[in-house]
Chains A and B, each alone.
Chain A
Amino acid sequence: MNMVLLTQNVSRRFKDIEALKGVSLDVAAGEKVALLGHNGAGKTTLFRVILGFLRADDGHVCINGQPPGSRLARRDVSYLPEAVAFPKMLTGREIVSFYAKLKNADADEVGSALEKVDLAEAADRRCGGYSKGMRQRLGLAQAIVGNPKLMLLDEPTSGLDPISRQRFYELIGEIAGRGTAVLLSSHGLSELELKTDRVAILRKGEVVANGSLAELQRSANLPIRIRVRSNSDHVESVHSRLGGERVNGESVEFDCPRPDKMDRLSVISQLGKAVSDVDISSPSLDEVYRYFSSDDADRGDAT
Chain B
Amino acid sequence: MSAVLTIAGTEIRIGVRNRWVLLASIILLVFALLLALLGSAPSGATKADSLSVVVASLSTLSVYLVPLIALLLSFDAIAGEIDRGTLQLTLATPVSRGQVLFGKFVGHVVVLSLAVVLGYGVAGAIVFAAAQNTGMDGIFDLARVISTSLALGATFVAIGYVASVSVRQTGTAAALAVAIWLFTVVLYDLALLGGLLASADGFFAKTLFPYLLVINPADAFRVFNMAAIDAAASTGLAAGGNAMPFLPQLAIISPFVWMVIALGLSTAILRRVQP
Contact = CB atoms under 8 A, between A and B. Distances in A.
Interface of A: 48, 51, 53-54, 71, 74-75, 77-87, 89-90, 94, 98-99, 101-104, 142, 146
B6 A53 contact: no
A51 B93 CA distance: 10
12 contacts: A75-B94, A79-B88, A79-B92, A84-B84, A84-B88, A85-B85, A89-B18, A90-B17, A98-B6, A98-B10, A99-B89, A103-B94
Of B14, B84, B86, B94, chain A has the most CB atoms within 10 Å of the CB of: B94
A101 B84 contact: no
Contact of A53 (B14, B18, B91, B93): B91
B274 interface: yes
A98 B91 CA distance: 13
Contacts of A53: 88, 91, 274-275
Contacts of A74: 92-94
B93 A86 contact: no
A83 B85 contact: yes
Interface in B9-54: 10, 13-14, 17-18
B2 interface: yes
Contact of B94 (A48, A81, A87, A102): A102
B3 interface: yes
Interface of B is mostly: helix
B14 A48 contact: no
Contacts of A48: 274
Contacts of A101: 2-3, 6
Nearest to B20: A89
Contacts of B96: 71
B61 to A, nearest CB: 29
Interface of B: 2-3, 6-7, 10, 13-14, 17-18, 84-86, 88-96, 274-275
Given A48-B274, A53-B91, A104-B94, A85 B17 contact: no
Contacts of A87: 10, 14, 86
Contacts of A71: 94, 96
B86 A94 contact: no
Given A53-B274, A53-B275, A74-B94, A85 B86 contact: yes
A54 B274 contact: yes
Given A48-B274, A78-B92, A79-B88, 14 more contacts: A51-B92, A53-B88, A75-B94, A77-B92, A79-B89, A82-B85, A84-B89, A85-B84, A86-B84, A90-B10, A94-B13, A99-B90, A102-B90, A102-B95
A137 B224 CA distance: 53
Nearest to A70: B94
A89 B111 CA distance: 15
Contact of B93 (A80, A90, A99): A99
A14 to B, nearest CB: 11
B149 to A, nearest CB: 26
